Structure formats: C-alpha cells, structure tokens
Structure 1
C-alpha cells in the first residue's frame, strides 16, 4: 500500500470517496485533510484514506465538477450579453458618438478567506471575469478586526467573508440553533456585524458570508445579504465567488435575481440563500480617450 504524505490527493473510504482532499498535516495515525473543491477541513485515520488516483471518481464529485464549469460559463455568457445589450442601447442614441463610447464600473469586491488556496482560486476567477477584487488571507477569528481596518481604506461594494466552518463533532446531536455548535459561525457573525456598523444600507454594501454547514439564520440576522448553509451542507469553494461576481456585474438599476443566482451555484438552495439585493454595476460616459492624441490649446494662465 502506498504511504500517505503531506500534499497527496486522497479520498475517504468510509464516505465512499465522495470528496477529494489534499493532506495538509500528519498527526500520529491521523491526517488533517482539506477539500480541493468543497470548503471542508477534516481529520481522518490513515487507514481510511485512498490516493485519489487509485479511486473511482464519485458521482458527487463528477456532478460538482460539471456544475462548477456550468456556473462559470453562465457568468461569462451573462457578461457577454450585458456588453451587447449596453452597446445596442447606446448605439440607438443619436446624441452619443457610438456604441463604443462608454466605460464599465463593476462593483468592487473585498474577499476575506480563511484558506489561502481557496483565496487564490477565487482571485483567479474574479480576474477572468474582469471584476475588481482585493483578496486577503485572514484566519476566521481575525476577520472582524481585519474588516475594521480594511473597509475604510478599500471602500468595497461587496464583501465576501468565508473560509472553513462546520457543525462540531462534539455537538452533532446538539442544538443547531446555537452558535457554539459551529466551528467558525460566531467569527463570521462578528465580522458581518463590523461590516454593518461601517455601512448599514444593504444595497450600498452587499455581504456574502459563510462556509460549509455555517449557521445560515445567524449570518442573515447579523446583516448578510447572502449566506450559507440553509441545509447545513457542504458548499463548493467558488459558490461565494459566483454570488459576489453576479452582484458586481448586475446593474444598479435592477436587483439580483435570487432564484437565478442560487440555481447556478454548485451547492444550490440547500447550500446558499439570501435576500433581494440591488446590483452594483454601472456604466459611464464618455469612454476615456488617449490623451497623447488630443490636440489641446492651453488656456490657463
């Protein structure tokens, strides 16, 4: 049998290989493992682990991969449709120079993540979608303090507060209404409260918060626009990014279509929920010109 080492990709036999993990730490006869696609941090006996290359991909993993690809494709399609719609609208106005005369101002995202690997994946997707984003790796228990410092400086339109969470094994038969039954939901609540003290208007600052099995109701009550996880299920690493990007690219003249957004996340309505929220995308006129080509006659003394 091949030995398990830090950095190996593995699945758990006892769970039918439903989620692929990377080994991040070894502890005696156990390994600390982190989901590659789902925001899940767990421990497992070494004898329960199989190298991913030796395992048959689970139906759950295959579905999640396909759904993630479809979600990203949907964002790209929506982006292209938005550009064409704006160009068509401006082209029909005789007072404008043409359909190319506008510039875009998508909402700005501040993304705090308790996992550096997931943060990198998230920032890569924001970049592909041309969504301006500032990312910070911050441990969940330090997120409230980080937001207190970062919000006045960055002044984002959207804040993402995510990382690792879950129902504690010691509380599996306990009270799911209690924040003490969750690994990091109380830290997310504290961070949301700091963000809401900074900006109380739900349309001026959109907050996307939570991770796997987070206390959905507590996060919404604290002031999140969108949160996980209504069904206390695992959420995909990019689900918060999808919602944030959708918010950044939805016009300020309209609201984010909740059913449309949730149906295109990997985890669906059991994984993420939220409230009606206005978008933060704007267009401006005219498009900035190349100043080196302007023939300007100076007029100031």
Structure 2
C-alpha cells in the first residue's frame, strides 16, 4: 500500500516525526522503507507495519507548527542584529559555500540565507560524493564559511557511539572536513559546520570542523546550519563568536549542535554610502 513519496510516521516512535518514503528495500524476508525527514536531517529504515500514512491536511498542520518554530528563531536573529548595526559603517558578512545531500533542504537553506542577507553558493551532492569534490569546490569558490550536511543517523541497535561504522554518513562528513582542511587548515580563515541528524560530533570536530552535530546524538533541523552560519557571518572578525549564544539560535539547541571557539567573519567598512 505504501509507495515512494508517501508521507508517514512511525508507531514505534509515537509518530513524533513525519517522514517521506525515499526508497524501498526488498529482501527474501520482508520489505522495508527508507525514510527521509521532512524537516529534520534524518535517514532511517522502518518496517511497513510500523508506518502510518499521513494525509495532506495532517501534513499542512505539521509544517505549520514547524514553520512557527523556525519563525521564532528568525525573529530572534533579526532582532538581535538590529541593535548591532553601526549606521556609519557598511558590512561585508562572510561568504558561504553549502554542500547538501538533500536538494529540497538545500533550496530551503539558500532561500533562508538570502532572507538573512547572506551570500551563499549551494551544491547538491550526496554525502558519499562530498569528500570527492570538496577540494575542487573550494578552489572554484573561495569562501569564508563551509557547510557540509545532508542526512545521517546512528544505525538501529548500535551502542558504540565512537565507531564511525555505526553511522550512515558520519564517515563521509569526517572525510570531507579532512579534505577541506588540506585546502585551508586555519580554522578562522575557513569556518566549517558539518553533520546531520545523530552524527558523530566528536569525530567531526577532531577532523577539523568548528561546529558539528550532534553532541547528544539527537535530530537536527534542516535549517540549524543556516542559523549557526548567520551568527558567524555577522560577528565581527576581531571578535570571538559566543558558543552558547550561537547554539541558542538553532531550532534544536545544545543537544543537537556544538562547537569550538571561533572568530567571526564580518568585516566592517567605512564610510557607508547611499548609492
């Protein structure tokens, strides 16, 4: 009864998230669905008898509730920035390169970057492809901030949180960060955010990222990387980003995202002109 593209929820998780069926695995025992989050960067498998189909009306209400949460964060960011602007200076916020394994999420992120007044280039590549193309992408697009994201998850039943083999995509994010650091090792000249839902936070940070998911192996929202990047891009280059403040700007908060001390990427110019 289920098909690719259907919106479903899982009984075993109390229908906490709506997910889209993005693939179907067939074996001799039974079919299972491959699920991708609608608003969260999760990929997971589920048995068909664990799934409940959601209709268009339910999806509308689900997306409305999510949009309200995102809008709260957007308003908070815009309100705080309003009081930081010095009228006599013009601003050059950091430029962004965003690689995403999900085309829909990338489109959402690029739209939000634009709304926040940020200049971002997007490239849609699967998590597995990102390590192979990141060096060329950085050489072709010199930027201040790099985002490497997509879908991830801790494999069901796995308890060893340190083993990269127990994650769907964390090893790819780690390798992408390593490749990026070969191009630019300085963490203040290239600021990197990497990871998806439940990613191996420690391994990604050790590889050279400034910010990553997920300290508590929690789900992260599709727009969490954008809100992290906004704070970095609009913090002056002679100041350190407040780690606690920047994480409070995200939808999922401290359990989902963490990082290290990082210098901002905003350069001020003088004088401000009206043309």
The offset of 1:106, in angstroms, is 0.9
Matching of residue 106 in structure 1 with residue 93 in structure 2 = yes
**Alignment correspondent of 1:80:** 82
**Alignment correspondent of 1:43:** 45
Task: Map 1:216-255 onto structure 2 (within 5 A).
Answer: 216-255=201-240
Tell me the secondary structure at the aligned position of residue 180 of structure 2.
Answer: helix
**Alignment correspondent of 1:208:** 193
**Alignment correspondent of 1:115:** 102
Task: Judge which range, 275-284 or 22-31, deviates more.
Answer: 22-31
Counterpart among 240, 253, 256 of residue 268 in structure 1: 253
The offset of 1:289, in angstroms, is 7.0
Asked whether the equivalents of residues 11 and 55 of structure 1 are also in contact (C-alpha less than 8 Å), the reply is no
1:32–1:103 distance in 2 versus 1, CA, 3 Å: same
Tell me the secondary structure at the aligned position of residue 240 of structure 1.
Answer: helix
Matching of residue 280 in structure 1 with residue 265 in structure 2 = yes
Tell me the secondary structure at the aligned position of residue 218 of structure 1.
Answer: helix
The offset of 1:103, in angstroms, is 3.0
Asked whether the equivalents of residues 194 and 209 of structure 2 are also in contact (C-alpha less than 8 Å), the reply is yes
**Alignment correspondent of 1:25:** 23
Counterpart among 136, 139, 145 of residue 132 in structure 2: 145
1:190–1:13 distance in 2 versus 1, CA, 3 Å: same
Asked whether the equivalents of residues 181 and 208 of structure 2 are also in contact (C-alpha less than 8 Å), the reply is yes
Task: Judge which range, 4-13 or 209-218, deviates more.
Answer: 4-13
Tell me the secondary structure at the aligned position of residue 146 of structure 2.
Answer: strand
Matching of residue 133 in structure 1 with residue 131 in structure 2 = no
1:145–1:27 distance in 2 versus 1, CA, 3 Å: closer
Asked whether the equivalents of residues 104 and 282 of structure 1 are also in contact (C-alpha less than 8 Å), the reply is yes
The offset of 1:265, in angstroms, is 1.4
- What is the CA–CA distance in structure 2 between the aligned matches of 1:270 and 1:76, rounded to whole Å? 24
- What is the CA–CA distance in structure 1 between the aligned matches of 2:23 and 2:179, rounded to whole Å? 33
The offset of 1:192, in angstroms, is 0.6
Tell me the secondary structure at the aligned position of residue 231 of structure 1.
Answer: coil
- What is the CA–CA distance in structure 1 between the aligned matches of 2:79 and 2:71, rounded to whole Å? 12
TM-score (normalised: structure 1)? 0.82
1:66–1:136 distance in 2 versus 1, CA, 3 Å: same
**Alignment correspondent of 1:189:** 174
Deviation string 1:186-237 (CA, Å, 9 cap, x unpaired) is 1111111111111121111110011111111111111110011111111111
The offset of 1:70, in angstroms, is 1.6
- What is the CA–CA distance in structure 2 between the aligned matches of 1:222 and 1:26, rounded to whole Å? 33
**Alignment correspondent of 1:94:** none
Deviation string 1:19-74 (CA, Å, 9 cap, x unpaired) is 011222345643322111111112223332223348979xx999865432221222
Tell me the matched-pair count: 269
Asked whether the equivalents of residues 44 and 153 of structure 2 are also in contact (C-alpha less than 8 Å), the reply is no
Task: Judge which range, 7-16 or 272-281, deviates more.
Answer: 7-16
**Alignment correspondent of 1:16:** 14
Asked whether the equivalents of residues 17 and 55 of structure 1 are also in contact (C-alpha less than 8 Å), the reply is no
Q: Which entry has the higher C-alpha Rg, 1 or 2?
A: 1
The offset of 1:9, in angstroms, is 2.1
